[in-house]
Structure 1
Amino acid sequence: MEAPAAAPRHVLFLNWRDTRNPEGGGSEVYVEQIAGALVGRGYRATLLCATHSAGEAEEVTAAGVRVLRRGGRHTVYLRAALVYLAGALGFGPLTRRRGGRPDLIVDVGNGLPFLSALYARRPVIALVHHVHREQWPVVLGRWLARFGWWVESWLAPRVYRRCQYVTVSSATRDELAVLGVDPARVAIVHNGTPDMTIEPTARSAQPSLVALGRLVPHKQVEVALRTVAALAGELPELTLVVAGQGWWEPQLRQVAADLGVTDRVRFTGFVSDAEKRELLATSWVALTPSLKEGWGLTIVEAGALGTPTVAFRGAGGVEESLIDGETGLLADDDGDFVAKVRLLLTDEAYRDAMGSAARAHAARFTWSVSGDTFAALVTRAAKVPARAPVEQIEPSYLVP
């Protein structure tokens, strides 16, 4: 892989979390994989994110990405602007002595963007994993939800009207188009599938399900719990492992108790990569009942180990990380979700064939290809003067 022809450029990623954050998820994995890929191609990469107890104020990842942690969950947006502006004035962590001001910013919008295009005299790439229309009312109260949706749907498209967009699925590109973002400005750079190599591992002897991810309301793990309750009578040995952590766990444990399935459900908390691979490899079926996903990283992770997934139709990028009827099944509602899970649990031949197809599908997506694509986009965007008309960027060559 060739490094950029010019001197290594400095790319600043603005993201509210990093992978060491206890609430980090697939979005954070994507950002750090892409940042690491840029470092491997001759760039400098800095990630500015919120502080948390599991990480220092500053560190360098194994991939060579410099991580700056400033501000909290809500103040990180303001702190990012202050750090950038301080660097422009010659002091702070973005001075030449500390690595220099960035040549380009990747502004990651997880509902709320950093609005860096308002203050940064540098090219900005707006990275959006998915649109949060359905999630705002679930996560916040009525008035805060309305404000959040206004920022995401009205303010952000105007702030980034001359910026290149990147997203991870065609579904999100279509959603952005509804918000007024020209699809010609939106490049798709898929997630890669992590290395899921594992020693030969047998499936559990009895029917087993796994739900992997952050424990927050919009992941809808309650659907998985209700599925276990609905199938308990006909599959008396059925179990579910809920792997992950989050502030919604006490509520989920209460739901399990109310449904009378506490003895069938195991909450693991945080799991290591090795534990995650073992859980996905031994389970019969993986469940992703999330309200919305930009991609569905856990779906391809399960697929890489031959485990099919049941998810909801219309939940964003899951319709690309999962091929309905081939690598998993998409349900239309809660009742259909239960029916789809029942079908896979009771038809071994169908389940095995689907698992084989899921393994092949997951192998199509690699971080190497994603890194090449993103690096090409950064190289091209960085050559365009800040605030130049977006037509000069011509990103459509990256869109499948």
Structure 2
Amino acid sequence: MPRHLAIAYDCLFPYTTGGGERLYRSYAAWMAERGCSVDYLTSVQWDQPGVPHEDDFRIVPVTGRLRLYDAHGVRRSAAALAFAWGLFRGLRARRRAYDAVLVSGLPVLNVFAARAALVGTGTEVVVDYLEVWGRAQWREYAGRITGTVAWLLQRAAVALTPIATCHSQLTARQLSAEGLRGRLLVSPGLLDGDSGVAASAGAAEPAYVLYAGRHIPDKRVETLPAAVARARATLPGLRLVVLGSGPSSSAVDAAIGDVDGAGWIDRPGFVTDERLLELMAGASALVNPSRREGYGLVVVEASAHGTPVVLVDDSGNAATELVEEGVNGFVAASDSPEDLAAAIVAAVSAGTALRRSTRAWYEEAVRTRTVERTVDGILAALDAAPSDSGEADDRRAPIHEGPK
């Protein structure tokens, strides 16, 4: 088993929040639990002088503070370049310090930085892919020229990946389509143990559905007011609570005005963790109309309370893999008001029976879909890897199959 590992990502929870930040911090903690010494290579995100101390792992800043996103919620190329350069220099200075380095595939320049810095050292490189996009997705996200360049860089990075990890069958298929030749680990899940949340006694009255997250175009939050307005034709007292904010908040506000929803839609912005837990526990359903999700941890977080989810079927939405229709939620055929409303009505109308089966789904998931098992798979993959990280490895079979 490797004894000295590094994890490279430009963000670190809790200084920045998000699914990737939580995942990589959890990786570090579980690898330390397994007896590994772990360095977390990141950018400065804290205000106090010096480097914060962690009991489980060592924080190693390789760049100063970075402005990661532009005004539209798109990752800035300048920040990606700055972190990649800092990562290259940091790893170059520690060329033989690590047995293995796990680097996030987002931003993709991280892969080139790590491979270039470690060439010839025998240090194994694992690339964790939160998401993999096709050319059309990249161009829609970043524009025709920048998006095409990003897609070509992604294809090159995938081809250079000796061991890849991902967290959905969707991403596994996309990695194959983008030319992965290395080994592939499809993780069983990303739960970090039992949340300790007790199942709620039942949905609050009057009934409401909840959205919690950023307001960016991919999340399609602005579709919710019209959908819930249509659902109210069947469930007259139903309300909508929209948490968060972001670049598309103005579109959300316009959509609320279009359905005259001020009297039955609450939009408090971001709330405390305690209030978020209260709202999630009391919701009749958590609704997330996102077109793309690399995993969909919000499904699990809601299920811990017994709160079912409503998602939208989309080619880029891996979160739908976590939904068993009628067991822990429903998947709408599209984000149209009609389709979303039908799924919302089904979830709310199913009542207590659906909440019980949702909680039962969660209790099974915390035994089988965990970060701990994912880390064990990564360490086993490193034990089985060739001794020279520059060697090609054409073993294509996944080391561990995730849930289908």
- The TM-score range, normalised by the shorter chain, is 0.7 to 0.9
User: Alignment partner of 2:191: what SS?
Assistant: coil
Question: 1:36 aligns to what?
Answer: 29
Distance 2:291 2:240 in 1: 20
> Over residues 161-212 of structure 1, what are the superposed CA-to-partner deviations in whole Å (9 max), with x where a residue is unaligned?
xx11000111210111111224x72101221155432355542112211112
Question: 1:389 aligns to what?
Answer: 392
Distance 2:258 2:321 in 1: 35
Determine if contact 1:300/1:358 at 8 Å carries over to the other structure. no
Question: 2:241 aligns to what?
Answer: 241
Which moved further from structure 2: 136-145 or 81-90? 81-90
User: Alignment partner of 1:209: what SS?
Assistant: strand
Aligned residue identity for 1:49: T
Gaps in structure 2 of 5+ consecutive residues? 69-76
User: Alignment partner of 1:341: what SS?
Assistant: helix
**How far did 1:132 drift?**
2.8
> Over residues 118-143 of structure 1, what are the superposed CA-to-partner deviations in whole Å (9 max), with x where a residue is unaligned?
33223211111222336434533333
Cα 1:79–1:143 shift into 2, 3 Å: closer
Q: Is 1:185 aligned with 2:183?
A: yes
Determine if contact 2:139/2:145 at 8 Å carries over to the other structure. no
Question: 2:116 aligns to what?
Answer: 118
User: Alignment partner of 2:389: what SS?
Assistant: coil
Distance 1:186 1:389 in 2: 13
Question: 2:175 aligns to what?
Answer: 176
User: Alignment partner of 1:227: what SS?
Assistant: helix
Question: 1:283 aligns to what?
Answer: 283
> Over residues 343-391 of structure 1, what are the superposed CA-to-partner deviations in whole Å (9 max), with x where a residue is unaligned?
122232553354244334433323332332233234444x621211224
* TM-score w.r.t. length of structure 1: 0.83
Work out the percentage of aligned pairs sharing the same amino acid: 21
Cα 1:86–1:155 shift into 2, 3 Å: closer
Question: Residue 149 of structure 1 is aligned with which of 148, 151, 158?
Answer: 151
Distance 2:232 2:144 in 1: 37
**How far did 1:299 drift?**
0.2
> Over residues 32-83 of structure 1, what are the superposed CA-to-partner deviations in whole Å (9 max), with x where a residue is unaligned?
1111111121222223334446676732345434252625224454444444
Question: 2:98 aligns to what?
Answer: 102
Between Structure 1 and Structure 2, how many residues are aligned? 380
Distance 1:140 1:87 in 2: 28
Q: Is 1:375 aligned with 2:379?
A: yes
Question: 2:73 aligns to what?
Answer: none
Distance 2:339 2:192 in 1: 28
Which moved further from structure 2: 111-120 or 304-313? 111-120
User: Alignment partner of 2:173: what SS?
Assistant: helix
Q: How does 1:244-393 map to 2 (within 5 A)?
A: 244-314=244-314, 315-333=316-334, 334=336, 335-348=338-351, 351-363=354-366, 364-381=368-385, 384-391=387-394
Determine if contact 1:286/1:307 at 8 Å carries over to the other structure. yes
Determine if contact 1:104/1:124 at 8 Å carries over to the other structure. yes
Question: 2:71 aligns to what?
Answer: none
**How far did 1:244 drift?**
3.3
Cα 1:45–1:262 shift into 2, 3 Å: farther
Distance 1:238 1:32 in 2: 38
Question: 1:140 aligns to what?
Answer: 142
Aligned residue identity for 2:6: L
Determine if contact 2:10/2:42 at 8 Å carries over to the other structure. yes
Distance 1:245 1:18 in 2: 21
* TM-score w.r.t. length of structure 2: 0.82
Q: How does 1:53-92 map to 2 (within 5 A)?
A: 58-68=51-61, 70-71=63-64, 72=66, 73=68, 74-87=77-90, 90=93
Q: Is 1:15 aligned with 2:14?
A: no
Which moved further from structure 2: 46-55 or 220-229? 46-55
**How far did 1:27 drift?**
1.8
**How far did 1:339 drift?**
0.7
Aligned residue identity for 1:253: D
Distance 1:57 1:260 in 2: 51
Distance 2:140 2:91 in 1: 39
Cα 1:366–1:21 shift into 2, 3 Å: same
Aligned residue identity for 1:302: A
Distance 1:44 1:352 in 2: 42
Distance 2:268 2:62 in 1: 28
Which moved further from structure 2: 115-124 or 48-57? 48-57
Q: How does 1:152-167 map to 2 (within 5 A)?
A: 152=154, 154-160=155-161, 163-167=162-166
Aligned residue identity for 1:237: G
Q: How much is the aligned-residue C-alpha RMSD, in angstroms?
A: 3.0
Question: 2:18 aligns to what?
Answer: 25
Question: 1:198 aligns to what?
Answer: 197
Gaps in structure 1 of 5+ consecutive residues? none
Aligned residue identity for 2:373: V
Determine if contact 1:12/1:48 at 8 Å carries over to the other structure. yes
Which moved further from structure 2: 336-345 or 226-235? 226-235
Cα 1:232–1:319 shift into 2, 3 Å: closer
Aligned residue identity for 2:97: R
Distance 1:129 1:88 in 2: 22
Aligned residue identity for 2:116: L
User: Alignment partner of 2:320: what SS?
Assistant: helix
User: Alignment partner of 1:290: what SS?
Assistant: coil
Distance 2:145 2:50 in 1: 33
